Amino acid sequence: MLMIHGTLVAVYDIDSSHKSTKIPVELREVVFNGVHGLIYKGVLTKSNECVAVKHIQLDVPQQQRDSQIRRLKANFDFTANLHHRSLLRQIHHQESQQGRNADDEPGIYEVITEFFQGGILHDFVSTNTVSALQLQDIVGQIVAGLDYLHGQNYAHGDVRGANIMISVDGLGSPRVKITGMGHITDALDRGGEAASERGYMLFVPPERIRLECTAPASPEKSRKLAMRGDVWSLGCVVLEVINGGWPAFYEDDGEGDRRLLTKDVPVLIFVGNGGVPDVSPLLPVEIQDFVGKCLSRNPRDRWMTKDLKGHQFLQCSRDVVAQWTLPPPNRQEADCSRVL
């Protein structure tokens, strides 16, 4: 540990590639406390580049730790070669011995990415009202990132506001980065740790609930199905931004009224039985149609990202979109209880 300008920092030698070159990294303050570990702001001392360093706890028995590390390394090998302005750039990964005094103590796996000065999209929309122009920018950037990812033959598998970062400049223009790609190679089987995260279940496509993705199929068919699952989740993200919170799911209470579903399990049953998230009829028809193309019950009827890029919602001129009015946010967040 070193004291630099009054700040206590930790210095590690980071292998910046698969070669033996070592690059020291200084860990600064904690910038986010996530479900699976802390995220620090750090600096590559040779280049002075700001980076984010995520610490993933290896809290499994020693005999399972090697398998977990191999899985994490495989995920990094996939994501390290992905380069797009809408994807958070992966820089390096390594196992750390920090805090370990014995083999049976939890280890730490470090994932180093570019540092993006911004916040989580879900948190941003919960406290800020988004204009139609900002919505067009946000959705367009997400679609571009997913289209690049799908073009590389990968599915994300966990598209939601909690896995998208956003920053807004002084003119109100948003910039987004898709994150949460640490488990991209497990896009067809995200049930474990992601299912424990608040809100995850509200973005799961119906075919995942019906376990169609795990049915025996060729790898190519399974991959395409997972990509179309990303598109369903994208439709839910659009509603998340508009609502200022989780996408809303209502069911008929049998007496002519609608009841908001506020727990994971009822939402899963509702979607599995044919339900879809609520889409306000007050939205401009272009946005309603875009969301509808994402939320088709049959995954084969959903537009792929390459088609969504040309949708009228994203192709409308800024002068036209600036005249649109979005309904006020409905920030009735579902109480996601982490129970499946």
Please write the tens of the pLDDT for every residue from 53-97: 888 877 777 777 777 777 777 777 777 788 999 999 888 877 765
Asked if the structure places residue 340 within a domain, the reply is no
- d(CA 69, CA 337) in angstroms, rounded, equals 29
Residue 207 and residue 311 in one domain: yes
Domain range spanning residue 61? Answer: 2-114
Q: Which of 71, 113, 78 is nearest to 92 (CA)?
A: 113
pLDDT of residue 20: 36
Please count the structural domains in the chain.
Answer: 2
The pLDDT of residue 333 is 55
pLDDT of residue 330: 81
- Given a contact cutoff of 8 angstroms between Cβ atoms, the answer to whether 320 and 313 are in contact is no
Note whether 48 and 130 are same-domain residues: no
pLDDT tens digits for 263-279?
888 899 999 999 999 99
Per-residue pLDDT tens listing for the chain (340 residues) = 333 333 333 444 444 443 334 567 788 888 877 666 788 899 988 888 999 888 887 777 777 777 777 777 777 777 778 899 999 988 887 776 554 445 555 577 778 888 898 889 999 999 999 999 999 999 999 999 999 999 998 899 999 999 999 999 988 899 999 988 755 544 444 444 444 455 678 999 999 887 655 555 677 788 889 999 999 999 999 999 999 988 999 998 777 788 998 888 889 999 999 999 999 999 999 999 999 999 999 999 999 999 999 999 999 999 999 999 999 998 765 555 433 3
Looking at the structure, do residues 145 and 246 belong to the same domain, yes or no? yes
pLDDT of residue 92: 80
- Strands 7-15, 22-34: pairing is antiparallel
In sequence order, the 6+-apart residues with CB closer than 8 A to the CB of 109 are 55, 56, 58, 68, 69, 72, 93, 94, 95, 96
> Do 155 and 11 share a structural domain?
no
Residue 328 lies inside a defined structural domain of this protein: no
Task: Indicate whether 54 and 202 sit together in one domain.
Answer: no
Q: Are residues 308 and 192 part of one domain?
A: yes
Whether residues 152 and 200 share a domain: the answer is yes
Q: How far apart are alpha carbons 5 and 27 in whole angstroms?
A: 14
What does the pLDDT read at residue 311? Answer: 98
Residue 81: partners with Cβ closer than 8 Å, 6 or more residues away: none
294 is a domain residue: yes
